[in-house]
Chain A
């Protein structure tokens, strides 16, 4: 069925959508109403009307263009429309910007969960192993000293993990307990330490100091730097053979 030239319709539709303040919806509204009008037109033609009559009948059935336009404007609220449009654009930009970091974060979380501590010496050399499981906090970083291991060569290995509190705004630097903060109940000063750290949301660290005296019983970690303090006492001789 050939459709009318729609000059009348075009005027009618333009009048309707002129009331819709949210301009981004106008095209869709126009398209939907036009489709509806075409259906009506075809019905009238099949009922025996000629083209001109059907065209006028459709407009008559549709009703007052101003009234419809005002109602459509209420339904397509321009404030909500603009908020919707802007928030959609920002959300899309953020999603695009976050795809790679989310992927990397997921990988580091998985790595953090499944990584384990490294041991500097063979486990058969372990004299005692003390489970400490004490957690301290400096700024917005937590440090949990999990265990201290005494080897028969006089080395002590500390296993601890660090993580930042959720939504921490800190620049994240690796943190290690070094020999500057380690002593024992005899007051020994340890010179130099070695260690390793894993990356991730939860970093796992190993620190090794050498020359823990046979007479010493307690390893002391006394971190005191720029007003931040952490203190651990580890009774290393109480761990028993492992």
Chain B
């Protein structure tokens, strides 16, 4: 077989297998953002109006998108050849913000994030906590501004650890108006 014919056959193989393997058919994507959009489509919500935050730690990434009434939160992990696929464990996906303000703690990403429904809240004070054997331990307190999209986030220290009786959550959330007055508080 001539080299030209062989080249054509190779290119056809590359196009077919490449598209099948990396074009979404095998659920492997070019970036964490693409994983998020593909996840939204699969879960039948969104698409996000825009990406509010992307944070990458090592081979893992979390992407947070803006929805009409909440957030889209999808984590992913690096796959073959620098591609990305959905991360392991449960996926937050569509997070509808129903209260004045809600926050979440993602220990694997050393990140606290959330959104406000009450537009008067301009600053958030919240804390990451660990619950071990039923005892709550505050790990990190953070204060962050709410942006124009009603979104806020703050990096925390690295407190992630695994254990049967350990889980992580937000301890409390306080919302302040532009004058610094407390207008919302919730302790979980």
Contact = CB atoms under 8 A, between A and B. Distances in A.
A95 B13 CA distance: 8
Interface stretch (B43-51, B127-135, B169-177): B43-51
A124 B41 CA distance: 41
B142 interface: no
A171 B13 contact: no
Interface in A169-207: 169-173, 175
Contact of A91 (B3, B10, B46, B94): B10
Contact of B21 (A91, A98, A226): A98
B89 interface: no
B35 interface: yes
Given A97-B21, A171-B27, A226 B41 contact: no
Interface string A133-175: 0000011110000000000000000000000000111111101
Given A87-B14, A94-B21, A226 B3 contact: no
B19 interface: yes
Contact of A84 (B10, B35, B38): B10
B86 A225 contact: no
Interface in B33-66: 34-35, 38-39, 41-46
Nearest to A77: B3
Contact of B27 (A81, A88, A172, A175): A172
Interface in A90-125: 90-91, 94-95, 97-98, 101
Given A87-B14, A98-B20, A171-B86, A81 B25 contact: no
Given A80-B7, A91-B14, A171-B39, A101 B21 contact: yes
Contacts of B150: none
Nearest to A89: B10
B27 A80 contact: no
A154 B42 CA distance: 33
A27 interface: no
B182 interface: no
B165 interface: no
B10 A87 contact: yes
Contacts of B27: 171-172
Contact of B7 (A87, A101, A225): A87
Nearest to B86: A171
Contacts of A138: 44
B6 interface: yes
A83 interface: yes
7 contacts: A91-B13, A97-B17, A98-B21, A170-B41, A171-B27, A171-B41, A172-B27
Given A88-B10, A91-B14, A168-B24, 16 more contacts: A88-B6, A94-B13, A94-B21, A97-B17, A97-B80, A98-B17, A98-B20, A139-B41, A169-B29, A169-B41, A170-B41, A171-B43, A173-B43, A225-B45, A226-B44, A226-B45
Interface of A: 80-81, 83-84, 87-88, 90-91, 94-95, 97-98, 101, 138-141, 167-173, 175, 225-226, 228
Interface of B: 3-4, 6-7, 10-11, 13-14, 17-21, 23-27, 29, 34-35, 38-39, 41-46, 80, 86, 94
